[in-house]
Amino acid sequence: MGTSTSRTILPANALGGALIGMGILHVAKPKPFDAIIPRRLPGSPRFWTTSSGVAELAVGGLLMTAPTRRLGGALAAGLFVAVWPANFVMTLKAHRAGRRRQFWITVARLPLQVPLIALACRIARG
């Protein structure tokens, strides 16, 4: 896919670092993530939590390495789209449990994935 330009290096490293951090959390402290896995997915929530953590670690590493940065951007965009349903489930669960503060935090978070997807796409384009 080629290398990226200097205008994408800093955003790619920041996004890569954030994904690596979240990947570590998914693997080291999976219980809160298990709770937001949509029930309609086959298999156990722990499988999906661990799998998404490993994907975040891998994509984060790709973003932070020049020869694979553009591939990492494309995969990050896909990853953000893939995990959006879990974030939506988190919002629904907070609403149903009457946790107003958590509900509003998660409502505010949902549209923030759009600029993350756009950034990942920009990195993918180089």
pLDDT 10s digits, 26-71: 999 999 889 888 888 899 999 999 999 999 999 999 999 999 999 9
Whole-model pTM: value is 0.85
CA 62 to each of CA 23, 50, 115: distance values in angstroms, whole numbers, following the listed order: 13, 18, 20
pLDDT 10s digits, 67-96: 999 999 999 999 999 988 888 888 999 999
Q: Which two tokens stand for residue 69?
A: 């940065």
Report the largest interatomic distance among the alpha carbons of the chain, rounded to a whole angstrom: 49
Closest by CA to 89, choosing from 35, 47, 29, 43, is 35
* For the chain, domain boundaries: 6-125
Upper half-sphere CA count for residue 43 (Cβ side, 13 Å): 9
